[in-house]
Amino acid sequence: MTGFALGAEQEEWCGQLRALAADRLRPLADKGEPGRVNRPLLAALGELGLLERVFTSGALELCLLRESLAYGCTEAETALALQGLGAHPVLRSGTPQQRARWLPQVRAGRAVAAFALSEPGAGSDAAALALEAVRDGGGQAGGGGWRLSGEKCWISNAPEADFYTVFARTGEGPAAKGVTAFLVPADRPGLSGEPLDMLSPHPIGRLSFDGVPVGPQDLLGEPGRGFRVAMDTLNLFRPSVGAFAVGMARAALDATLAHTAARRAFGGVLGDLQAVGHRVAEMATRTEAARLLVYAAAGAYDAGSADVPRRSAMAKLLATETAQYVVDHAVQLHGAVALQRGHLLEHLYREVRAPRIYEGASEVQRTIIAKELYR
């Protein structure tokens, strides 16, 4: 890839993914129940080797994968991304035993992973999390451990996941310095959860921890360094959240081009009206700008650049805000038909709102960018 275009092989792969999403994955997604984990869809992602690509690809390839799937099937894209988000800490910080137990199952789509960071009082300010890990002299097998008590909220794939990457306060230091990451299987005693009825169609829930036992064998990384585990994951996935948004924007843009080129009005087609043509031109320009910024951020991550946090934040910010703009204007140019249940734009309109909040709201991204600029 140059700074301005993908290579021919990359473009061909993206086209194949878009077709695969529409032809193979869309029918499975349509059979799923909103707000529930779609295990047949996950199994298909595993069989097609796409989940494997989440763990073996660089950031740019992950972005191309997410963008292309989002274009044809947002449910497949989200299912794939949530597997990566929940299991990436295991890949990067887990023990050999943890990786051997869980990663083959995740890659095959047989085990559902979840990333449990947010809490009722600690969403955007992740360093303020309050889930408490109290030392327990007995703990699990292998020596002294902890008991987890508190609540997690707005956790994707909860409460149906098979294991959770959980971030808890162990108190080695103040704020982020006292956070530890744990791998917590869903069947651990004291762990319960309930689904939340959200605007987005993918599963989101609340988790309750009532003295859930965890031991040294459940650690992901070292005690007190869990925030680093979280940020390592988010720095990789933030540009690809932007790629998800770009995929939705491109789908909305293409639908708008087709509609305005064919819809007759005022003695011609909508696209002949200057107001419409200018609006579509603005949608296309913003989408392309967001797409290039996402690719640049992913390239910086793959190159090991020092400015990854700033670039990742910029990519997520611009891409998610742009997708909201493009989808909203696509609905406007389609008119009432786009508000019907089952219409592509009605679906995208519900999907596009959440990415401006999760994995760091737009305001948090601006804060990160400013801090990095002034550093």
Q: Just list the catalytic residues.
A: 359
Q: Which of 79, 360, 70, 68 is nearest to 234 (CA)?
A: 360
List CB contacts of 120: < 8 A, sequence separation 6 or more. Answer: 151, 153
- Tokens describing residue 205: 């829930």
4 burial (CB, 10 Å; 0-12 / 13-18 / 19+) is exposed
List CB contacts of 139: < 8 A, sequence separation 6 or more. Answer: 145, 146, 213, 214, 215, 216
Instruction: Name the helix (H) or strand (E) containing 147.
Output: strand 145-156
Cα distance between residue 360 and residue 59, in whole Å: 18
Cα distance between residue 175 and residue 276, in whole Å: 50
Helix axes 96-108, 74-93, angle to 10 degrees: 170
Q: Are strands 113-116 and 163-169 parallel, antiparallel or unpaired?
A: parallel
Helix axes 226-262, 74-93, angle to 10 degrees: 160
Quick one: the chain helix, strand, coil %, rounded to 5? Answer: 60, 15, 25
- Tokens describing residue 162: 């098979």
CB atoms within 10 A of CB 370: 12
Instruction: Name the helix (H) or strand (E) containing 183.
Output: strand 179-185
Contact criterion met (CB below 8 Å) for 250 and 67: yes
Q: Which regions of 215-275 does DSSP assign to beta strands (E)?
A: 219-220, 264-265, 268-269
